[in-house]
Amino acid sequence: MSSVPTGWASDRLKDVAAINAVALSAGTDPDYEFDYLEISNVNYHGIVDPNAIERLRFEDAPSRARRRVTAGSTVISSVRPNLQAVAFFPDAPTCFVCSTGFNVVEPQPSRLTPQFAYYLLISENARQYLEAAATGVGYPAVGDKEFNAIVVPLPPLHEQQRIAAYLDASCAVIDAAITAKRRQLETLDAFRKTTIHHAVTKGLNAAVARRASDVGWFGDIPKHWRCEHLKRFTNRIQTGMTPPTNTPDYYFDGTIPWYAPGSYDGDIELREPRKLINELARSEGKLRMFPAGTVFLVGIGATIGKVGLVPADASCNQQIIGIVCGHRMHSRYLTYQFKIYEDVIPGIASATTLPIFDQVKTGYLPTLQPPSEEQAAICAYLDEKLDEAKRIAATIDSQIATLTAYRKSLIHECVTGQRRITDTDLNKVKTHG
């Protein structure tokens, strides 16, 4: 840690706070009940979903549910990939327990105030230290010795209180702005879905005669459009395949794009293959090829229903169904239409341990086919609208990134003394934000 301002001290965290001081023993009454916080429910901004905190009996709790959380404590993850996931508890229920993946930090009142300790632990200094100290394979973690040895700056207690109050007020303003920006993104996404749905089911001519489609998610459609099973409009519906991973020669110097569910980012076109496979895999029949313009639909797993269009000849794994359109169905229009199914398929897929929607069921999906010139016009319209929405979203994302970076910088400057906070500063931020 760099030098601290005059009048400040510094010390190891273990000398100014109790760390993991209280835990449930193996001999705890099996009927003892407590609220339990799992590590996956916390991120850099705190608890993700308060409703996910479970009420458990000791007998039914996982073995990692051991560390007691007291009022004024900060819990911080010491394990990747959740490193520096932090939650502060100015108050805590009488019976509150967290996973052993957290360290519970309870400040000594004579040296360190609880709220200032929280800001120290989410600061950039702490992040850099924890990243450097994490060791191990698979799930690197920060050991107790290294965690206890974090050196923290210690302003006088009254200054700690002032800094924490200033950061509370400042971060509240920043967080409110970020929340507003995220709502804008949600509104933009809703606009995108509504625009696609209306264009692909109603067309661009509001005056055209309509008829019932008899499909709940389509509603009324233009009278002159066809509505039949997908297989009527396609030449091929088939899943992909994965070349054996124990044959590395198939993956060396690859040139053939190979897509998997992780390739989907919400856009109409798929641009990021998961791997590049070589011609040997194709020549030996270990790869299933699809022509440019094939619609790739995820048929199994957590992202079931996701759809995208491949701009070039490509392959995919067995979780993806390739849909090759007939000459009267524009593949881009079909991709836009099947954006509706991203919300429909998860609800109608059969489910065992994972939701599944196979190629046979895909062939029987109700599908709309406007005349070819209308399909082209709808695609041109949607391309323009969605490009505009994407530009707006990129601007909002940039604004969120700027606000987030400013929040981190502000915390860092305040807890290290690079920015000294006066009573005037505190009163100003409380009054004006």
Same domain as 243, residue 147: no
> Rounded to the nearest 10 degrees, how much is the dihedral formed by the CA atoms of 18, 24, 25, 29?
150
Pairing status of strand 256-259 against strand 314-316: parallel
Asked if the structure places residue 192 within a domain, the reply is no
Res 47: pLDDT: 84
Give the residue numbers spanning the domain of 47.
9-154
Question: Quick check: is 312 in a domain?
Answer: yes
Residue with tokens 């920043």: 174
Q: So what's the pLDDT on residue 61?
A: 93
* pLDDT values of the chain reduced to their tens digit, one per residue, 433 residues: 568 899 999 999 999 999 999 999 989 999 999 999 988 888 877 888 888 889 999 999 999 999 999 999 999 998 877 777 899 999 877 889 999 989 999 999 999 999 999 999 999 999 999 989 999 877 788 999 999 999 999 999 999 999 999 999 999 999 999 999 999 999 999 999 999 999 999 999 999 999 999 999 999 999 999 999 999 999 999 999 999 999 999 999 999 999 999 999 989 999 999 999 999 999 999 999 999 999 999 999 989 999 999 999 999 999 999 999 999 999 999 999 999 999 999 988 876 567 789 999 999 999 999 999 999 999 999 999 999 999 999 999 999 999 999 999 999 999 999 999 999 999 999 887 6
Residue 244 and residue 149 in one domain: no
Task: Assign 255 to helix, strand or coil.
Answer: coil
- pLDDT confidence of residue 386: 96
Domain presence at residue 231: yes
Q: At residue 393, what are phi and psi to the nearest 5 degrees?
A: -60, -40
Residues 49 and 146 in one domain: yes
Domain shared by 238 and 131, yes or no:
no
Q: What are phi and psi of 140, to 5 degrees?
A: -55, 145
Of 101, 122, 154, the residue that ends a domain is 154
What residues form DSSP beta bridges with 355? 351
Could you tell me the CATH number of the domain that includes residue 144?
A: 3.90.220.20
Could you give the CA distance from residue 121 to residue 16 in angstroms, rounded to a whole number? 13
In contact, 35 and 55? CB cutoff 8 Å: yes
pLDDT at 253: 92
Name the domain boundary from 352, 369, 386: 369
Burial of residue 95 (number of CB atoms within 10 Å: 0-12, 13-18, 19+): middle
In a domain, 418, yes or no: no
How far does Cα 336 stand from its chain's mean position? 24
* Whether 240 and 344 share a structural domain: yes
What is the reported pLDDT for 314?
97
Distance in angstroms (rounded) separating the CA atoms of residues 219 and 298: 25
Residue listed under structure tokens 């990692």: 64
Residue 402 lies in a domain: no
| Same domain, yes or no: 135 and 230 | no
Report yes or no on 262 lying in a domain.
Answer: yes
**For position 292, what pLDDT does the model report?**
97
Q: What is the CA radius of gyration of the chain?
A: 28
Asked if residue 264 and residue 132 are part of one domain, the reply reads no
Q: How many domains does the chain have?
A: 2
**Is 296 inside a domain boundary?**
yes
Residue 164 included in any domain: no
Phi, psi at residue 121, to the nearest 5°?
-75, -20
The answer on 344 and 236 residing in a single domain is yes
The pLDDT value given to residue 10: 95
From 316, 347, 369, the end of a domain falls on 369
Q: Where are the beta strands (DSSP E) in 214-337?
A: 220-222, 226-229, 234-239, 256-259, 275-277, 289-290, 295-298, 307-309, 314-316, 320-325
**Residue 150 one-letter amino acid:** I
**Does 29 share its domain with 127?**
yes
Residues 99 and 231 reside in one and the same domain: no
Angle at CA 217, nearest 5°, toward 216 and 218? 95
Transcribe 100-159 into DSSP letters.
Answer: TTEEEEEE-TTT--HHHHHHHHTSHHHHHHHHHH-B-SSS-B--HHHHHT-EEEE--HHH
Rounded Cα distance between 43 and 46, Å, is 5
